[in-house]
Structure 1
Amino acid sequence: MPATHITRGSRAYLRANSALFFAGFVTFSTLYTFQPLFPNLVDEFGITPTVASLSLSFATLALALTLPVSGSLSDAWNRRGLMGISVILASLLAILSGLHLSLPTLLGIRLIQGIILAGVPAVAMAYLNEEIEAQAVGSAMGLYIAGNAFGGMTGRILTAWLTELMNWRAAVIGIGLIGLVLGMLFLALLPPSRNFQRRPLRIGPLSRSLWTHLTDPGLFCLFSIALCCMGGFVTLYNYITFRLMGPEFNLSHAQVALIFLAYAFGACGSTVMGVLVDKFRRSNILFVSLLIMGLGLFLTLSAALPAVIVGIVVFTIGFFGAHAIASAWVGHLATSARAQAASLYLFAYYLGSSLSGTGGGLFYSAWGWPGVTLLILILIGCAALAGILLNRRSTPTPSP
């Protein structure tokens, strides 16, 4: 391995992982701020749970549609600069979304916020694959995803608790202020790229590399896994809140917020799975993660609150493990235009979030929680099928 790559345990390794941990934290704390606020939006604007879910789905859909562009821009421009601008602007928009706005204006801001946040996830994955030594990429990717998990967890819990103390608008503003501080720390800590090779932004080559990635059997299976796993994960968290606050369990907003502590276990799961992937076959660890998701989903059907909580935790561990494995696998299969390949993976990831996250509301309205679990089970099954095909057909993508 050339000496230009960051080695495990070095000062640069610590700085890079810390910076990307902060970037992941800001990205997912601001992106998912509104998820625990669905009941508040239903009450304030007089809308259905399905419509309330648009406050998340608009942001994730915009993020999904913009990711392929942001990945290509980072291949032609500057990874560190693009991520820094995205983190700062997203935090400012979070503050703006906490002002007294109409529902259409709020959804419009969330749409713009999703576009801006696209400058982080795919670019961060490409940075890690380029700058970290090969034998440490799995561990570094696991730590980055742990930052995503911790940001998503903390953002949701802080939002719910601040809402309980003040109101939901003040809570959203608070998340934005935290994001500004962490964005500045990100810019101060992240080491400059040393292995980045600029690719001029030409439509022809970009289209060819895009087509190459989309038609690669292995990458297409990974994109399918991302869509199904993320779709199931967001659907569970979107609608479990309504069940827990409903007559079956009658929990308060602050109590329900504690379910997002499951993200801490998810962060541990992604880190552990990332280490295991560096030592064992990726496919084996992926299937274990999917089985863990299925077990957790089954437990959420229980009428006993402790079993439901354990089920959420187990499901979350399995999801973050699968995501850590699949996201690192993308960098292994795509030997060129890695940011674009990573952006396509995340396009599928957030497309699943948007479609299933809102579509799950129809299942919840029609059949309650059993209907939601049926949808998620179908998605896990599809992810497992894609994993089987991936294990048989994955081959590295040739340079376009």
Structure 2
Amino acid sequence: MHRTDNRHVTGGSTGASHSTVHSSGSGGGHARTVEAHREAVRQLLADLNGADRTEELPLLEALGRGLAADITAPVDLPPFANSQMDGFAVRSTDLPDGGLELTVVDPIPAGAVASPLAPGTAAPIMTGAMIPPGADAVVPIERAVPDSFPRPGSPATVRLPEMEAGTYVRAAGSDVRSGELALAGGTFLGPGQLGLLAALGITRVTVHRKLTVLLATTGDEVVEPGKPLEPGKIYDANGTLLEAAMRQSGMDVLRTAISTDNPAELTALLRKHLPGVDLIVTTGGVSKGAYEVVRQATTEQDVEFLHVAMQPGGPQGIGKFDGVPFVGFPGNPVSCLVSFEMFLRPVLSALLGAPARRQAVRARLADALDSPARKHQVRRGTLLPDGTVRLEGGAGSHLVHALAGSNALIHVPVGTSALAAGAEVEVWTL
């Protein structure tokens, strides 16, 4: 449910474990830390990385997945010593201080098997071509006199400078040796990782299966975009926001219709779509108001509601609904996206290798800011080329326009009540 900020920041339970059934979140205890709640989410989802939840795929179909187990290199990479430059393959002992004129022999194109190099000779060699037996260095063509290759088959000599052994030679196994760890289990498979596997001759890879997430938006006041907007109603941003974030993170999303504030309707809606689902995510209805439908619909479930010391996104729900892992995010749009980025995304990255972790950088604030000292504040901002980060909008959790204009999340840790312009902060790039 899209509630105002003051509905989100009241109350809170310490909630050391999500096993407590329907905790009220009251009692005056301290809010749970961000780190403790992230760990609770990790424990809730720990079984999702079991060996029975993997599949073997062709390389390109594995793009964006997490590697399920370590992969050792089956061959050396490169598999043979080869030239780093277009030039002349030589024996370094043939080139004393000051260089020497050598006889040019047959060229070595890429892909050819090189014949042994006789003393006193130099072989024209192309980038990536095999270093001939006996050669141990390559002289770049631009350092030769003349600085061009002779016509193949015509007698020729070339004057070359002194060159140390190993210069411009890519040694066999200099990238990775056969039997060494190529990629560790849990690695996110992007183009670079798939390219490495292809270079090693690997055509299929075992990855963690995609998660299927059941996503439910709640609230009497919420209507689907495109429908008439009556007085007192708002369009649903949360469903699109979270579904897009989840799909971009490699999940399959099953999105329900918007649920009203009728608990029986929400319960029936979730159970209708539950078969085959790995995780349930709801938005709204987790705070302490009179019409918190998610709380009411889970009174008989192993679900806890508590307050995390975070702004936005303080109210959270966690547990199991009919045995399926469940997380309940707040209803304000920025709150639910920040909750996804702070809890669900990093946990899945650590457990399954996907989605990729957010890059964390240090940046200097372009603007001063205030923050509640007892909460971890997450502000939206734009990371600029000069290494500064500009705040976008205020701290309010309803500011979707400011979110859309941001490319980073700015972290203000607990214990900080104000930061001046120029202060250094941690920033996650979006």
- When normalised by structure 2's length, the TM-score is 0.22
The structure with the greater share of residues assigned to helix is 1
- Structure whose CA Rg is larger: 2
Q: Which gives a bigger RCO, structure 1 or 2 (Cα 8 Å, sep 6+)?
A: 1
TM-score (ref. length: structure 1): 0.23
